[in-house]
Structures are given as structure tokens and as C-alpha cells.
Amino acid sequence: MPIIRVDLAERSYEVVVECDELCVASELILAAGLAGRAAIITDATVERLHCRTLTATLAAAGISHSIHVVPPGEASKSLSQAEALCREMAVAGHDRTSFVIALGGGVVGDLAGFVASVFQRGIPYIQIPTTIVSQVDSSVGGKTGVNIPEGKNLVGTFHQPRLVIVDPATLRTLPDREFREGFAEVIKHAAIRDAAMLAELETLDPQSRNVPADLIARNIAIKARIVEDDEHETKGTRALLNFGHTIGHGIEAAVPYGKILHGEAISLGIRAALDLSCSHARLPVADARRILALLERFGLPVVLPEDISTALVLEKLARDKKFAAGKARFVVLTAAGSAHVTTHITREDMEAAIERLRQKP
């Protein structure tokens, strides 16, 4: 059972990775010192697939709970949905002794974590991520948030979970598109911190739903070490996790929610970042091609649809949190596994890179 500790002094916690762990989640919850009432926040799809397993183990352990279901999809990451959940929890009798369980993908994790951070001025929460994106990335690190029309995650908090339970078996229930999108974050981690992982991904069967627990744990460890060094993104280290996200978030925000999934937008953003890394950071073309080939191997998009306006993408990304004093903090690679942040990528550079996304690589 791979266990990754996120060492943040009094906010430290463990990430436990094991198949079929959802069936015994209550043992881990009690071991983490949580014994109050649980508010399970999930979406309608995950409720149907996994909620019964979770509630059975909670009931067996004597942990009382309520269930709060939101519609699936990015549109649920809103202030209005957060308010609705807080009101539901209040009506259900939750108080400062309660804790939240976020059961679902990145949308549920971000939303439930935000609700936990503000309900009763902050209560504990547990992440039980059920997608690759959330298992290898968003469930770890304590970033919570909701979207507003002006951009993604512009309203949020840092609120570390008390425990993260990762069950790779839940990935078997994902639709193909949602399964594939998660590998954008895996490829990102390899690109910025672990070039050796590229070779492992090149041998992995992209059609297999049996994602190795060790591979998930390896990704989580990369995220954990970066978070430990720069919890609140004040040193610049944590910004490395934004490789591909500056332009990727702009693309994601430029279309109606759901038209392009998060990982699909990040794939496009990674291709643009590779382009700019070659021209501005001397990334070897061979390294860029290798990473690009992995995106294509896992069925991720690398060509921007013509109906997505470059001007709108630029408008959306200019409102992103990755800008400081009007300058983009853009992550580039100097080699596979080696990344740094630069403020020397201009709006014109990004505009040209977005336009080149319209051409086949």
C-alpha cells in the first residue's frame, strides 16, 4: 500500500493509494482522528457508481452521514452551488464537529474543499478522488475554489485535507474521454520533474484501465514535494505545476463548460508551452516531440479547433491568477524533467503559439 506523506507541520496528512480501498475507507477515516458526522459531497454520476460503497463502510463503523449531490460538470464549481451546499449542511444539522468527504473528480474536490473551508469558518475534509486528474493532481495540495464568469478558480482558499484516499479501481468506471484526459496531468508531472516517467508512460497500454498504483503514487509524490516547498505559491516552486495551464486555462475558459475537458485543454496548453520552450528556453526539439507523442498516444487533442477565438483565449488567460503585475508567469522546459518560471513570454509570443496550435504538429 503506497502511502505518501504531505509534510506541512500541523497541517500534514497522508495520501493512501490502494485498489478497492473505498470499501474500507471508514478505517482510514477513524485512524485520521475524524469521528463527527460526515457530509458527503458528490455529483450525480459518482453517487450512482460509488456512494453506496462509501456509505456502507461508514454505517458499519457507526459514522453518521448526509449526502449532498450536485450536477456533474464544471458548471457546479460556482458560488451559488457552494452556498446551496452550505445551506443544505446547516439544515442537515452539521456543525463544527462535522467533516466533509469529497467523493468525485476535480470539480467535486475543489467545490467540497471550498465549502469545508468556509462552513462554520472551516471544518476538516477528506478527499476521495475518482478520476485520474483528481487522483494525481487536484486532490493533493489544499487548493480549493470555484469559478466566476471572469475566469477559473478566481475565488478560493488554501485548505489542506485531513486525509486523501486514492482507490485506482474507481478509474475503471470512467468514460473513455474522462479517462484519457487525466493523462495530461501525468505527462505534465513527467515533463517538469521526472523524465524517467516518460519511458514508463511509453510502455503503458493506453487502453488498459488497470492504472498501476505505483504510477499514481509517483505522481502524487511529485505534487507533494512541490507543495511542501511552496504551500501557498509564494516562492515560485509551486508555479511549476502550471506547465501547460496558462494557455490551457485560457482555452478552457473560452468555450462553454464541458465542450473541452480540463485535461484536453491542458494538453493543448502543453503543446503551446513546448513550442515556446523550444523558442525561448532552448528545449531540445527531440524532447518536445517525445512529450507531444505521449499526448497523442493517450488520445489527447493537440490541434485547436478553428471556432475557438485566439482573441478570446488571450482575454481569458489575461485574467488568470498566473499573472503578476500584468506579466504572465509562464512555465517553460529547458529539458525533459527540468522546468522553470519566466516572465519573458509576451502576449505576442502566446498569441503566435495559440495560432500555431491550429496546425497539425
String of DSSP letters for 14-63: EEEE-TTGGGGHHHHHHHTT--S-EEEEEEHHHIIIIIHHHHHHHHHTT-
Q: Would you say domain 176-203+234-356 falls under CATH 3.30.457.10? A: no
pLDDT recorded at residue 97: 97
pLDDT recorded at residue 35: 86
> What are the CA-CA distances from residue 256 to residues 175, 247, 259, 270, 340 (Å)?
20, 16, 6, 21, 31
CATH number for the domain running over 3-173: 3.40.50.1970
| DSSP 3-state of 320 | coil
Question: What HEC string does 59-108 produce?
Answer: HHCCCCEEEEEECCCHHHCCHHHHHHHHHHHHHCCCCCCCEEEEEECHHH
337 φψ region: left (φ > 0), alpha (ψ -120 to 50), beta (else): left
pLDDT recorded at residue 236: 86
pLDDT recorded at residue 317: 87
Secondary structure E strands in the chain: 3-6, 13-17, 38-43, 65-70, 99-104, 125-129, 143-148, 151-158, 163-166, 323-324, 327-328, 330-335, 338-342
> What are the CA-CA distances from residue 178 to residues 77, 174, 209, 223 (Å)?
17, 6, 12, 21
Give domain limits for the chain.
3-173, 176-203+234-356
List of the chain residues with pLDDT < 50: none
pLDDT recorded at residue 60: 97
Please state, in angstroms and rounded to a whole number, the distance separating the CA atoms of residues 79 and 128. Answer: 22
pLDDT recorded at residue 322: 62
User: Annotated catalytic sites, by residue?
Assistant: 121, 143, 185, 223, 233, 238, 242, 245, 249, 262
